[in-house]
């Protein structure tokens, strides 16, 4: 199965496509979609939306996972990131993809085994899981790959649980 992990943002959207075969995880493609700072939000959102559609069409994931938003200070940033998140979800839904959402704590728990792990610990584990030579940069890309890994693990577990409950 191919999973797409997304770290939503308005300036930078991290994305990571990974394949899972058995228990093996393989990176397919990862990077970020960037928008220019002094561009109107509607143009930035259109760019994020169109770029995500192109990525989905090119790499054809089976499932999409996004990091849930957590803001405790800047409401303006929260609003624009929420809008970007909306167009990312729209792109996935329009392509008929199932969507999952994970809190940062859930991702850390799945990757490191500790929900309050430091960002650097998560990045090192992403590097290890995917056998990468370096931690992906910017941080948004490593975060997106962590979300994809989290979903790959959760998806497998949930599939097995569903099989058991169907019996």
Active-site annotation, residues: 7, 67, 140
Residue 119 to residue 117: CA distance in whole angstroms: 7
**Degrees, nearest 5: CA angle 157-161-165:** 170
> Under 8 Å CB-to-CB from 129, ≥6 apart: which residues?
25, 111, 149
Torsion, Cα of 91, 119, 112, 158 (10° steps): -20
Axis crossing angle, helix 139-166 with helix 104-112, rounded to the nearest 10: 80
């Amino acid at each position: 199965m191919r999973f797409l992990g997304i770290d939503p943002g308005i300036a930078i959207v991290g994305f990571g496509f990974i394949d899972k075969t058995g228990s093996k995880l393989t990176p397919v493609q990862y990077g970020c979609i960037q928008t220019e700072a002094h561009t109107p939000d509607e143009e930035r959102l259109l760019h994020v939306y169109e770029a995500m559609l192109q990525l989905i069409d090119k790499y054809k994931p089976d499932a999409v996972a996004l990091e849930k938003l957590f803001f405790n200070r800047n409401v303006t940033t929260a609003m624009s990131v929420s809008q970007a998140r909306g167009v990312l979800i729209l792109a996935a839904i329009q392509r008929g993809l199932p969507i999952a959402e994970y809190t940062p704590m859930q991702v850390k728990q799945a990757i490191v085994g500790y929900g309050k792990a430091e960002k650097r610990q998560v990045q090192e584990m992403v590097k290890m899981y995917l056998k990468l030579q370096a931690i992906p940069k910017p941080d948004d890309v490593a975060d997106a790959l962590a979300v994809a890994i989290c979903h790959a693990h959760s998806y497998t577990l949930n599939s097995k649980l569903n099989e058991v409950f169907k019996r």
